[in-house]
Amino acid sequence: MVTTRFAPSPTGRLHVGNIRTALHNWLLAKQAGGRFLLRIDDTDAARSEERFVDAIREDLAWLGLDHDGEERQSARLAEYEAAFEALRAAGRVYPAYETAQELELKRKILLGRGLPPIYDRAALSLSDEDRAAKEAEGVAPHWRFKLDHDSMIEWDDGIRGPQHFDPAQLSDPVVRRADGSWLYMLPSAVDDIAMGVTDVLRGEDHVSNTAVQIQMFTALDAAPPRFAHEALLVGREGKLSKRLGALGCDALRESGIEPEALLSLLARLGTSQPVEPIIDRSKLIETFDLGTFGRAPAKFDDAELGRINTAILHQLPYDDVAARLPEGMGPQAWEAIRPNLEKLADAQDWWSVVTGPVSPPDFDDETKAFLARAAELLTWGDEPWRGLTAALKEETGRKGKALFLPLRQALTGRDHGPDMNALLPLIGEEAARSRLAAAAR
């Protein structure tokens, strides 16, 4: 069974970048009839906060990205310890004693020589006596995973195609800090094995991590999952600005973005498929295809998100929004007002036009006489607006803007808005006649 996972660290709210990762893994699993798992990567106790764990769950629920199971890395420390001991017994992890300053100096020297800043494996040449002396001095080791230099690292990437890495051109990665805490890569591989993850879809900034992790899977006697690395998001100016990169689900909700709009944009962004306002998620699932993903950076535009959001609102049925509409606003009113909305919160403004009071402009005497006659000619039927305007046109000879605008202004206090043929029945006969008469005085 296809099994994907989303593995956020609870150090902040979900933002557009990791929402996109979560969505694509969800779509990949749903399309295959598989499982989408949530893993809270909270091994960094100093930065992880429980309120962000709750926020991640809340954000995924708002987006409708349901998961089929949840794990927390903080509850799996014993499993990481067991894997670490197995690797140590096999000679695949080793202690290193360089300080951060010493490592930075080595890095600068290599870069100054025009060489890649690859760790020189100096720790492997230490004798037992050297290591004992370091520890007697109170220097606790950090631990590195020893890459196998004897064969190329290769995989067929679901987006990037065949990948080849020479392990000798990679640094042996640190997997455990001197204080005993874990870095990302080893716990992630251990969890992917235990959770039965078959497919890992993530950003292209993880490509070199994947090369390292493939050797970790092999060292742990497990087959690696299928990997795919998608291009990262950038903004209109060429890179994803801090404002957009940190734009969290809570901020998106508060700004009036509908989850369907965000999913419609992020599902297709960076692919050859058109970005469309889609409220039926089954269409997003059916059309999801890694083969359509491009290598160029995916451009995120908040203005485009706004346009999609408006188009989504114009499709949403009443039942989907009823709980968030102003009190008393029913299906007929939603159908009338919906085409004029950019954000759902605008419904309150337009509903106040229906419920009143309204403030029409001051009209000249000729227009007041016209409106007084409109109050007299108003009759109620299936289409009172068409009946009223037809009668006034025939009697006064007015047409176009001269006919329609004063009536709209008197009835709504606005120069534009929803179709009056739909709006007038919502206002009601008594209120409409009263507004026309009041504007004529």
Binding positions for ATP are: 242
Query: DSSP per residue over 252-281, as a string?
Result: HHHTT--HHHHHHHHHHTTBSSPP-----H
The closest alpha carbon to 203, from 229, 184, 226, belongs to: 229
Residue numbers in the known binding site are: 242
Grouping H, G, I as helix, E, B as strand and the rest as coil, residue 140 is coil
Q: Are strands 35-40 and 3-6 parallel, antiparallel or unpaired?
A: parallel
Judged on CB neighbours under 10 Å (0-12, 13-18, 19+), 51 is: exposed
* Sheet strands (E) in 41-104: 70-72, 93-96
Contact 46, 20 (CB under 8 A): no
Contact 221, 247 (CB under 8 A): no
Q: How far is CA 235 from CA 152, 241, 268, 321, in A?
A: 36, 6, 16, 31
Residues in the chain: 441
Greatest distance between any 2 Cα atoms in the chain:
109
Contact 428, 328 (CB under 8 A): no
Element housing 298 (H / E): strand 298-299
On the CB side of 372, CA atoms within 13 Å amount to 9
Q: How far apart are CA 250 and CA 228, in angstroms?
A: 29
- The 8-class DSSP code of residue 418 comes to S
Residue type, 127: S
The closest alpha carbon to 65, from 124, 25, 105, belongs to: 25
Q: Nearest 10 degrees: CA dihedral of 20, 26, 27, 31?
A: 170
Contact 76, 70 (CB under 8 A): no
H and E: helices and strands count for the chain:
20, 12
